[in-house]
Chain A
Amino acid sequence: MTEPVLEVRNLQLSFGALRATDGVSLTLCPGEIHALIGPNGAGKSTLIGLIAGTLKPDAGQVRLAGRDVTAADAAVRARAGLARSFQVSAVAADLTVLQNAVLAVQGARGQSFGFFRPALADAALRGAAEAHIARVGLSDRRTIPAGDLAHGERRRLELAMALALAPRAFVLDEPMAGMGPDGAREMTALLDDLRHEAPILLVEHDMDAVFALADRVSVLVSGRIIASGTVAEIRTDPEVRRAYLGEEMLE
């Protein structure tokens, strides 16, 4: 088995008496899509926060490309190649699509402390940003403020910004949320393409997408991973059925 790109070892975090993350371990290997599913309140967003560095664990370790990044903050992990998308679309709404993408490129390169030259006049920054926008099919929308984009377009802009980090691993929090069937299909195709860029840890409620994309599925319930395996294994796992999936979803 190849070396995992992202590895989480025995991660724990409590909020008071609530054990939000209770000894979670998982790996993300090159080329794969590893889906993380679980009912509401299972602790998926907390786990993502711990992996991305916005939350600090009480115990455990996060390793990115073989390096221990547990003590590093979110900005350091991002520059080390951890590309994260948010459950609620997180773009700078007043900035245009192109400005958002340029922001992502300069962030990834650690070039945010230039005070004089206009950011958009920098050909290298702008070229890279336009390439990422083209990759997600937003080229003809690049002068639109991100806040005026349709929901699905904003989701794709987020992916373009994640791509700008030259990621080693994607951590995507419900990229299909709030999308219609067409949007979800397009996004599924895009994610299937992105896995060649870097492996994806995918938190998603859309089971069609999970079953279509995932190489492995882990099921998180009450802060614990209760099962982990291929799509076929998870579909037939009796504990998973009991804890989480409605019977009809598995037919």
Chain B
Amino acid sequence: MRREAILNAAIAIALLAVPLAAQAMGEPFVITLATKVAILALAGVGLNIALGLGGMVSLGHAAFFGIGGYAMAVLAAPVQAYEPLMTWPVEVAGTKSMPIIWLAATLAGGLAALAIGALSLRTSGVYFIMITLAFGQMLYYFAISWPAYGGEDGLSIYVRNGFPGLNTLEPLQFFALCYGVLMVALLFSRVLARSRFGLALAGARQNPLRSAALGIRPYSVKLTAFVISGAITGLAGALFADLNRFVSPAMLSWQTSGEIMVFVILGGVARLFGPVAGAALFILLEHWLGGFSEYWKLFLGLALLGIVLFARGGLIGTIAGREVAHD
């Protein structure tokens, strides 16, 4: 426990220190990379609540990630087109304000997770994986055939959305925002894991029959966790779209679902900082190995295989050892 806490603190400090150093050395690209790590880690923190705490292997989290991204586009695109968002029954204007966009993306991700989870959680095991994948693909093809937001080509949002009191066009300030959101999500995730709900979720994961025999409906507990998970991943999607100033159906593709899952598994399933370590390693590999060979994903695959076979706790587990039960 102590070792893991120190390791977590070291990761948090490193993720903050790298962009600060990059700023000092005039390397804005590195700041963008760090921002990407923070945002993808946030998506992983969301998935980790479903996968790690709840044991729900969702291969459809790109749906929530993409919905968050499109929520941003739906709100921000009318502003750059000088049009209202809707005119009937009341006229509503779009917005370029991040807090409102974040709220919308979180709600949209959570609602989508409620609908998808309510149906998917009637199954389990490999069927759950397949049905979440199917829902993800449904939304992917919907986005492709949705001309209002660019269809297959996606849609550019030319100016990054704003946050009161900050200049989000400044890479370091946008990074700080994303980092702050990530830290809040990590804190929430930690509090959740130790709460009564977290205990009920652990029970539902490890022994659903026993949970029911204790008066706790595993379905309700898991669905609630799935909604929280989808909401956080949705928020990450809005930030990711803002980072790229672009949304496209690729955010909804099953490869995205797979990548989010890779962050969690690389870093350590159910470990608090697992998604952060995993996303950081993934981005580092992408850029270092990607420089040597365009087949870098082959090496990523080998690394993943090694971790699954020999290091079940992922990076965090390998360094910090077995998770010690708290208290």
Q: Which positions in A face B, CB cutoff 8 Å?
A: 52-54, 73-76, 78-79, 83-84, 86, 90-96, 98-100, 102-104, 106-108, 110-120, 122, 125, 143, 145, 161, 164-165
Contact = CB atoms under 8 A, between A and B. Distances in A.
Interface residues of B, number: 27
A73 B217 contact: yes
Contacts of A120: 194, 326-327
A108 B325 contact: no
Contact of A95 (B202, B209, B217): B202
Interface of B: 191-192, 194-200, 202-203, 206-207, 209-217, 221, 224, 325-327
B199 A106 contact: yes
What 7 A-B pairs have minimum CB-CB distances, sorted nearest first? A107-B214, A112-B200, A78-B215, A74-B212, A79-B215, A114-B196, A90-B210
A103 B204 CA distance: 10
B195 A165 contact: no
B211 A107 contact: yes
5 contacts: A73-B212, A75-B214, A90-B209, A116-B195, A145-B325
A115 B195 contact: yes
A122 B199 CA distance: 13
Given A75-B216, A92-B207, A103 B199 contact: yes
B208 to A, nearest CB: 10
Contacts of A79: 215
Nearest to A79: B215
Given A102-B199, A113-B197, A114-B197, A93 B206 contact: yes
Contact of B206 (A92, A104, A110, A113): A92
Given A91-B207, A92-B203, A165 B192 contact: no
A119 B224 CA distance: 17
If over half of B's interface residues share one DSSP class (helix, strand or loop), that class is named, otherwise mixed; here it is helix
A146 B11 CA distance: 31
B55 to A, nearest CB: 11
A115 B197 contact: yes
Nearest to B201: A112
A110 to B, nearest CB: 7
Contacts of A83: 213
A110 B327 contact: no
Contacts of A161: 210, 214
A112 B202 contact: no
Given A75-B212, A78-B214, A107-B216, 19 more contacts: A54-B209, A73-B217, A74-B209, A92-B202, A92-B210, A95-B199, A96-B327, A102-B196, A111-B196, A112-B216, A114-B195, A114-B197, A115-B192, A115-B197, A119-B196, A120-B327, A122-B196, A143-B325, A161-B210
Nearest to A107: B214
B196 A112 contact: yes
Contacts of B224: 113
A161 B211 CA distance: 11
Contacts of B203: 92, 95, 100, 103, 107
A117 B200 CA distance: 13
A52 B214 CA distance: 11
Nearest to A110: B215
Contacts of B214: 75, 78, 103-104, 107-108, 161, 164-165
Contacts of B221: 112
A86 B209 contact: yes
Contacts of B215: 75-76, 78-79, 107-108, 110, 165
A114 B211 CA distance: 16
Nearest to B205: A92
B207 A90 contact: yes
Nearest to A114: B196
A98 B197 CA distance: 16
A224 B192 CA distance: 48
Contacts of A112: 196-197, 199-200, 216, 221
A230 B195 CA distance: 48
B196 A113 contact: yes
Contact of A119 (B199, B213, B325): B199
B325 A99 contact: yes
A61 B211 CA distance: 24
A117 B196 contact: yes
A119 B194 contact: yes
Nearest to B228: A115
B207 A116 contact: no
A77 to B, nearest CB: 8
A31 to B, nearest CB: 23
B24 to A, nearest CB: 39
Nearest to B216: A107
B196 A78 contact: no
A72 to B, nearest CB: 11
B200 A107 contact: yes
Contacts of A107: 200, 203, 211, 214-216
Contact of A96 (B191, B194, B325): B325
A118 B206 CA distance: 19
B198 to A, nearest CB: 7
A128 to B, nearest CB: 13
Contacts of A96: 325, 327
A235 to B, nearest CB: 33
Given A92-B202, A165-B215, A86 B192 contact: no
